[in-house]
A = this chain, B = another copy of it.
């Protein structure tokens, strides 16, 4: 779609096959509220018969992040995941059993964070809140 090509152009990036493909994958994953790792993207591309290198996947994802197209999250264990930047902010809840990642956003917490930083003489540039959970006991 022209929409994607335009997004790339706006970011000052040439419209190339790897970039378009990766952008499509990220948008498709968005439907399943799925967070993709670089490895995930790489494997999907290979499965689709595309011939891209893992290095390119990282380069493209990093460029997308710089362009503000995607957001990168660093979870425990040196693993990073990427998702489309949908404008809204939200935090994450990772299920230690299934590995599933759920999103949530709580105004109360957001508000307190700013109050706390303010009280200590700072302002928040960014923040990361991840809850590591397991299914409630029966």
- Residues of A whose CB lies within 8 Å of any CB of B are 74, 76-78, 93, 95-96, 102, 104, 106, 108-109, 112-113, 116-118, 120-137
Contact of A113 among B76, B78, B121, B131 (CB under 8 A): B131
Report the Cα distance A78→B109, complex, angstroms: 26
Q: Known contacts A116-B106, A120-B102; is A133 also within 8 Å of B125 by CB? A: yes
Counting every copy of the chain, the complex holds 2
Please give the distance in Å from A90's CB to the nearest CB on chain B: 11
Q: Chain B residues near A116: list those with CB within 8 A.
A: 93, 104, 106, 131
Contact A135 B122 (CB under 8 A): yes
Contact A120 B96 (CB under 8 A): no
